Amino acid sequence: MDDPASALEVAIENGTAVIGVIGLGYVGLPLIDAFATSGFQTMGFDVDQEKVDRLLAGESYIGHISADRVCELTGSGQLIPTTDMARLTEVDVIIICVPTPLSESRDPDLTYVEATTATIAEHLRSGQLVVLESTTYPGTTRDILLPLLQSTGRVVGKDFFLAYSPEREDPGNPDFSARGIPKVVGGIDPVSQKIAEAVYGKAVVSIVAVSSPEIAEACKIVENTYRSVNIAMVNELKTLFDRLDIDIWEVIEAAKTKPFGYQAFYPGPGLGGHCIPIDPFYLSWVARKAGSSTRFIELAGEVNRSMPRYVVEGVTRALNDQGKPVRGSRICLLGVAYKKNIDDPRESPAFELFDLLGKAGALLSYNDPHVPKLPPMRHHNVPDLTSQELTSEYLASQDCVLISTDHSVYDFTFIVEHAPLVIDTRNACHDVVIGREKIFKC
């Protein structure tokens, strides 16, 4: 069959297409699992040899992908993990799931995307589909990926195919796996669109076809900006209601009984994860380039970034009420993952809390059953700490326990019983009856 598009469509339809995923992290590995569950042969590419070695050894480094599942995939040969990018020639579909962080000046840092695309271009062969899933600003697929891939002399829509489909992972949510979340797909041309829809249609519950990669890129940013702005609103209301001695959590519980026109968002010690603290600023950057402004987005970012400092001020007040300064006080952070019941600490507000409390002279420790050792973070001076066991003796030895992540495994009644002071940033202790005088909501 001479037509590359037809040949790829046939391979997708009969399940013989090989799916390659670049980036074996919290997005890439679940995506591989989704395609493998649908019967496809997969290859996983990563520059981190340790990740590849752990997968080959049957280990999982992501909480919601079990070691048994990894063993099943690698043992059967359905997943081949590798750091050898030359093997990209062996796959029919190449899906890019690499990080897209912000620079120090909060501009998009597409270093990983550009380097990955350049590598793909070196090994690009006729009949391959390339899909970017990494969150980015509208125009990235057309303005960055397309020129690099066409520099090979191959023509998009004829020799190779290109699309954008934003990742929509929600780690820790048992109701939605990668297979169960509708997939937005925007092809660079009609042929690319048709092929991208076909391949994702084999692995996910439904396809949301859009008219261009720019629409798909903007869609992802809108989703996360919506959340960022609404979380900022409740964070700001929290600081106001604290002054008025009004419980924001009770207000939200009352408001969400309205069956229309309201969606509940909740305050916290700050934003975490790779998406919400970062993605809206991609849109701000695009606006500046277009000579416009995004005041809501910028203000939301300010409010959300201020929350760790607000929490530390609350810790200071609560300790002062007990006649203790922050300097020299033993403070345990409870939970360092960016949200409950996951093992992902990326951009977690806990690290800003570590920074601020450490500079104030606190003696810090932490517990997180999902994060046994604090990992390095590019924007923080992370202390060399391991998770401490939550014994009654340990809790009693602390001057303050600061709840930054409310994992379901925590027994908050036990924690309040044995800790002298509990700072609750998540309303985690709402059902605790005994010892409520020790709880300081912040």
Q: Report the pLDDT value the prediction gives residue 425, as an integer from 0 to 100.
A: 98
Q: Report the pLDDT value the prediction gives residue 170, as an integer from 0 to 100.
A: 78
Degrees to nearest 5, angle at CA 203 with 57 and 7: 100
Ordered DSSP codes for 159-217: TEEEEE------TT-TT--GGGS-EEEEESSHHHHHHHHHHHHTTSS-EEE-SSHHHHH
In a shared domain, residues 114 and 246:
no
In a shared domain, residues 26 and 173:
yes
Length of the chain, please?
Answer: 442
Q: Is the pTM of this model over 0.75?
A: yes
Q: In this structure, is residue 232 part of a structural domain?
A: no
Distances (CA, A) of 347 to 68, 166, 359, 421: 29, 20, 19, 26
Lateral strand order in the sheet of 330-334 = 363-367, 330-334, 400-403, 422-424, 439-441
In a shared domain, residues 280 and 328:
yes
Q: In this structure, is residue 50 part of a structural domain?
A: yes
In a shared domain, residues 187 and 63:
yes
In a shared domain, residues 283 and 378:
yes
- State the catalytic residue, choosing from 219, 275, 332, 429: 275
Residue 12 exposed, middle or buried by CB count within 10 Å (0-12, 13-18, 19+): buried
In a shared domain, residues 289 and 414:
yes
Q: In this structure, is residue 76 part of a structural domain?
A: yes
| Contact in structure between 116 and 148 (CB atoms under 8 Å) | no
| Contact in structure between 332 and 365 (CB atoms under 8 Å) | yes
Q: Report the pLDDT value the prediction gives residue 263, as an integer from 0 to 100.
A: 96
List, in order, residues 6 or more apart from 273 with CB less than 8 Å away: 338, 339, 344, 346, 347, 348
d(CA 45, CA 64): 20
Q: How many domains is the chain built from?
A: 2
Q: Report the pLDDT value the prediction gives residue 121, as an integer from 0 to 100.
A: 98
Q: In this structure, is residue 221 part of a structural domain?
A: no
Q: Report the pLDDT value the prediction gives residue 169, as an integer from 0 to 100.
A: 80
Residue type, 300: A
Q: Report the pLDDT value the prediction gives residue 174, as an integer from 0 to 100.
A: 74
Q: Give the model confidence (pLDDT) of 279-290 as tens digits.
A: 888 888 888 888
Query: Would you call 332 a catalytic residue per the annotation?
Result: no
What residues are paired with 439 via a beta bridge? 422
List, in order, residues 6 or more apart from 367 with CB less than 8 Å away: 332, 333, 334, 335, 387, 388, 389, 390
Where does residue 127 fall: left (phi above 0), alpha (psi -120 to 50 degrees), or beta otherwise? left
Where among 211, 230, 263 does a domain terminate? 211
| Contact in structure between 253 and 192 (CB atoms under 8 Å) | no
Q: Report the pLDDT value the prediction gives residue 44, as an integer from 0 to 100.
A: 98
Q: In this structure, is residue 216 part of a structural domain?
A: no
- The parent domain of residue 363 ranges over 238-441
Q: Report the pLDDT value the prediction gives residue 374, as an integer from 0 to 100.
A: 94
Q: Domain holding 290: CATH number?
A: 3.40.50.720
The first and second tokens of residue 342, run together, are 């996951």
Q: Give the model confidence (pLDDT) of 54-106 as tens digits.
A: 999 999 999 889 999 999 999 999 999 999 999 999 999 999 999 998 887 77
Q: In this structure, is residue 231 part of a structural domain?
A: no
Q: Report the pLDDT value the prediction gives residue 178, as an integer from 0 to 100.
A: 85
The crossing angle, in degrees rounded to 10, of helices 295-321 and 279-289 is 140
Residues of the chain with pLDDT under 70: 1
Q: In this structure, is residue 100 part of a structural domain?
A: yes
Q: In this structure, is residue 14 part of a structural domain?
A: yes
